[in-house]
Amino acid sequence: MVLSGGACWTVGDKQGGNTMSDAKAKLREMLARRGMVAAPGSYDAISARAIAHAGFEAVYMTGAGTAASLGFPDFGLVTMTEMVANAQRIARSVDVPVIADADTGYGNELNVWRTVQEYERAGVAGIHIEDQEFPKKCGHLDNKQVIPREDYIAKIRAAADAKTSKDFLLIARTDSRAMMGLDEAVARANAALEAGADMAFVEAPQTLDEIAAVPRLVRGPCLLNMVWGGKTPLVSLPDAEAMGYKLSILPGLLLKEAIGAFDDILTRLKAEHRHPAPQADMKVAEIFRRFGADEWDERRTKFRDPAEAKPRAAAE
C-alpha cells in the first residue's frame, strides 16, 4: 500500500523480534523519508503479529488496549512495570519497530527518567509521554486535567536526558487542547520540542481545521491519533500525510474489532448450540505457523547434528 507522499508498507513473513538498536534505527529511517508512517494499535503479541503480517511498517502499543487486556479501563490503573512488560512481549514478537504508550511517565522527573530507560531496555523504538495529571484517563474522554506547563517541560527534559540511544524516539503528547484550547496545546508542543522531544503529539484536535493546523503551527514532526468514536474527526491516511503528519496511530482498530468478533461468535454459539464457523477458517497448524511454528519445529532436531548446531554467532 502506497501513501500519496510515496511512503509504502512492505510485508515481511519472518517475525523473530527486533534487536533494540535495529528497531530504533529502522523507525528513524522511516520517518526521515518522504511520507507518513501508519502504526495500527496492538494490545498483545497476537495483534502485533497480525499488524506485521498485514504488511504495516510499525506497531503501536496502545495503553488503552493494554489496560483492557488486564481487565481495566484506561483510567491510569496500569503500572509502569505492567506496561513495559507488555511492550517487551510485543517488541519481541515482531520484526517491525514498536512505538509504545508511556502514559504520564508514572510520576515526576525521577520516574520519567527510569520509565524511558525501562522502555528502551524492553526493545521498543519510541514512546510518548503526556501532560495529564495522575491518574490519567483516555485522551478522548471528558474531564481531563493537565499539569502546569513548566512541570510538563521538566519531565520532557528528564526523558530526553534518560535516552541511551539518539535514535530512541521521544514523542511529547499534550492533552491540553480539551481544557485550554489549541493555542496552549501548540505552545506546549513547541516547548516540548525545544526541551528535547523528537516529535509532538497534540491529542484530540476537535475539528478538521484544527487537525490541519497542528502540523502548520508546530515546529517539528507531528503525530496524529485516529480514534473511531473519539473527539477527533477521522481523516484518511493520505489526507493526514498531505497535511504534513509524519506518524499516525490507530490505537483501537484491532481492539474494537476483536470485541465485536468475540460478541458475535459467542452470540452465535448461544443461539446455535454448536461451534460456529470462525471468520478466520484456519487449521490448527496454520494458526501456530503465524506465531513461528516452522522455526521452532526446525529446532526440534537441529541440535542433534553437530554440523547444523553451530552457534549463529560463530557462523557469522
Catalytic residues: 60, 74, 101, 103, 128, 130, 138, 173, 203, 225
202 - beta bridge partners? 174
Q: How far is CA 129 from CA 77, 93, 175, in A?
A: 16, 24, 10
Distance CA 26, CA 94 (A): 13
Q: Which three cell numbers stand for residue 30?
A: 522511516
Beta pairing class for 37-42 and 247-250: parallel
Distance CA 111, CA 102 (A): 11
Distance CA 123, CA 165 (A): 12
CA atoms within 13 A on the CB side of 302: 12
Closest CA to 125 of 96, 161, 160, 156: 96
